[in-house]
Amino acid sequence: MSLARRLAWLGLAFFAADAWSAHGYGQFGDLKYPAGFANFEWANPSAPKGGAIDLVPPLRISNFDKYNPFTLKGTAPPGLSALVFESLLTGTMDEPTTAYGLLAEDVEVAADGLSVTFRLNPAARFHDGKQVMASDVKHSFDALMSKQAAPQYRVVFGDVKQAVVTGPMTIRFEFSRANAELPLMVGGLPVFSRAWGGGKPFDQIILDFPVASGPYRIGRLNFGRDITYERDPKYWARDLNVRRGLFNFDRITYKIYQDNTAQTEAFKAGEFDYVRSFSAREWARTYTGKKFDSGELIKSELRSKNAGDFQGYLINTRREKFKDPRVREALGLAFDFEWMNRKLFYGAYIRVRGYFNGSDFEAKGLPGPEELAVLEPLRSKLPDKVFSAEVPQPPSTDLPGSLRSNLRKAKDLLAAAGWTYRDGALRNARGEAMTVEFLDNSSRSGPVNTPFIQALRKLGIAAEVRVVDFALLQKRMDVFDFDLFVVRTPGSEAPGNELLDRFGSESAGTEGSSNLIGIKDPAVDILLGEVVSAKTRPQLIARLRALDRILRHGHYSIPQYYSNTYRIAYRSGKFEQPKVMPLYYQPETWVLETWWKKP
């Protein structure tokens, strides 16, 4: 264990007096795998190559219209980023804050933490056979940081001052401040060839097939509907330790269905092999029948050590009617999770409490000493209740509570915020009626939205669901034209720079950003800066708990629910999987990277 890593685990300064160089990088603590390791333990290095797997996207889209996943306009096909593009470092499913060399064979962090240098693997090749050079890495970084790329890259890499080519095979990223996560962030930068697009402006690279280095290339396709990725038989990293035993299928095909019922019936009919269900009701009532009974189709509920997902209605605080936190809290009181879980979900879900469910970062009770040390310098910017009251929990209708009593509380909150019932509606002082539009691109949410809407109407709020196609939905979300919208964010074992885009003031006014809520809070901005500059895991825990506490007191969302299992179904007898399950994973990634075709 290096001195820097020993100090990190002890809660002391991360950066030692000397720079360190290694085959991988860990934000906190040791690298599990030593230099020259054979393969990840959750992969089978003897897995045969061959065969095919057909699946559907985990998130529903209606079509795709481009092959550039890094620009704002349009929709890229599912699987493109993960299968076609590669990065300098690659993560492992048994260490949440560690990555190992992929395109880069060596990573060196400066003693002051203000830069990181990568030395490229001389064997790395793009699909056109040309060597991956440091100039390609710089080109990729500069393209993603330009205004022609989606805005979240400029936020996530906002602390990277520049990328400097220091040699044909070496590149240095310079930082504006020391941040232990930044080497991981730039290590995950997607790299593509300077030849991609033939010199076009980046946002005009639309239908040009990517020139990248990943294990797959785009193969057969039904444009806008289905797409097949074909394994590159000359893939440069097929024998590299971080790729040994991975990406075993010759062909991976995503099929896109417009309707969920049609998708489920197609699965039963054998049109594709694997699907993940996000609906407990669907899982219990639709994934049934003779083929499941006979074992031809297998249902499996997988567990992991992943932090719990966040899922909830995000409230657009750019709307004048939602600026008062009492209004936002009142809306949340109309959501009856307990009834839904009993009647609709077969008791399968856990209530979302905050933004970091089931993790070390979830705020609980009153702030402890470590949190207070973070919060105290922000006292003048925060309401007193952040310090004196327990962190808000989602309202419950379990006895002795009830939806009726919650709606009474909501009525009082609305009245205090200036909204009273008169002339047949809930109105403000100007006589304007309160309306709420739920934006969606599917009718699947109907069973959840309907009881919520009925409860809101009891308060005098005119609520309705607006179902639009995916293209219009994306356009409206990009310009923040919505009232309430449901978002699911996978749990993370080390949240960091992505939170700047999700909650930072700069992103609130940037079209296409992830700050859908529109939060512009100086205290949150300061805290986000402290989160991304955390040098030890104890620091990260205290700062994220403080962030969770502040956000929950702001009532910016209406928490829904999450599952602590992954529900997947697949065709029996076609596939095999490694004996060792990973610890931290998403099921689609695990399937596509580690499974293989049964001989």
31, 22 Cβ separation under 8 angstroms: yes
pLDDT at residue 21, rounded to an integer: 63
Residue 302 dihedral angles phi and psi, to the nearest 5°: -95, 145
In the chain, the number of structural domains is 2
DSSP 529: H
446 pLDDT tier (thresholds 50, 70, 90) = confident
Taking 90 as the threshold, does the pLDDT of residue 5 lie above it? no
- How far is residue 31 from each of residues 94, 322, 351, 393, measured CA to CA in Å? 11, 46, 35, 37
Between 40-44, 57-61, 252-256, 424-428, the lowest mean confidence (pLDDT) is in 57-61
Taking 70 as the threshold, does the pLDDT of residue 13 lie above it? no
Q: Which stretches does DSSP call E strand in 58-155? A: 86-87, 89-92, 95-101, 104-109, 115-120
Residue 168 and residue 30 share a domain: yes
Residue 405 and residue 547 share a domain: yes
Residue 589 and residue 544 share a domain: no
The verdict on residue 503 lying in a domain is yes
Give the CATH number, domain containing residue 514.
3.10.105.10
Residue 191 and residue 55 share a domain: yes
pLDDT at residue 58, rounded to an integer: 86
Taking 50 as the threshold, does the pLDDT of residue 6 lie above it? no
Residue 426 and residue 316 share a domain: yes
Mean pLDDT of 193-199: 96
8 pLDDT tier (thresholds 50, 70, 90) = very low
Residue 591 and residue 470 share a domain: no
Taking 90 as the threshold, does the pLDDT of residue 434 lie above it? yes
Percentage with pLDDT > 90 across the chain:
81
Q: How many residues does the chain have?
A: 599
For residue 164, give the amino acid letter.
Answer: V
Q: Over the chain, what is the mean pLDDT?
A: 92
pLDDT at residue 29, rounded to an integer: 65
Taking 70 as the threshold, does the pLDDT of residue 174 lie above it? yes
The verdict on residue 418 lying in a domain is yes
| Residue among 254, 186, 212 at smallest CA distance from 85 | 212
Taking 80 as the threshold, does the pLDDT of residue 131 lie above it? yes
| Residue among 560, 559, 561, 554 at smallest CA distance from 317 | 554
Largest distance between two CA atoms of the chain: 75
The verdict on residue 1 lying in a domain is no
218, 229 Cβ separation under 8 angstroms: yes
pLDDT at residue 155, rounded to an integer: 87
Residue 207 and residue 160 share a domain: yes
pLDDT at residue 281, rounded to an integer: 86
Domain that holds residue 150: 21-251+566-597
Cα–Cα distance for residue pair 354/361, rounded to 1 Å: 10
Residue 241 and residue 177 share a domain: yes
More confidently predicted of 534 and 393: 393
The verdict on residue 4 lying in a domain is no
The verdict on residue 284 lying in a domain is no
Taking 80 as the threshold, does the pLDDT of residue 232 lie above it? yes
Q: What would the pLDDT profile of 271-289 be if each residue is shown by its tens digit? A: 999 999 988 888 999 999 9
pLDDT at residue 186, rounded to an integer: 97
Residue 536 and residue 584 share a domain: no
| Residue among 161, 156, 165, 154 at smallest CA distance from 176 | 161
* Residue-wise DSSP of 354-382: SSSTTSTT---SS--HHHHHHHGGGGGGS
Other CB atoms within 10 A of residue 347 CB: 8
Residue 488 and residue 349 share a domain: yes
pLDDT at residue 306, rounded to an integer: 86
Taking 70 as the threshold, does the pLDDT of residue 9 lie above it? no
Q: Residue 348 has which token pair?
A: 């399968």
Secondary structure of 143-170 in HEC code, one letter for each residue: HHHCCCCCCHHHHHCCCEEEEEEEECCE
Cα–Cα distance for residue pair 324/254, rounded to 1 Å: 44
The verdict on residue 304 lying in a domain is no
pLDDT at residue 413, rounded to an integer: 98
The verdict on residue 476 lying in a domain is yes
pLDDT at residue 492, rounded to an integer: 87
Percentage with pLDDT > 70 across the chain:
96
Give the CATH number, domain containing residue 201.
3.40.190.10
Mutual angle of helices 537-554 and 522-532, in 10-degree steps = 160
348, 283 Cβ separation under 8 angstroms: yes
3-state class (DSSP) for residue 261: helix
414 pLDDT tier (thresholds 50, 70, 90) = very high
Q: What would the pLDDT profile of 346-396 be if each residue is shown by its tens digit? A: 898 999 999 999 899 999 999 999 999 999 999 999 999 999 999 999 999
DSSP 299: E
The verdict on residue 286 lying in a domain is no
Residue 377 and residue 247 share a domain: no
2 pLDDT tier (thresholds 50, 70, 90) = very low
Residue 166 and residue 82 share a domain: yes
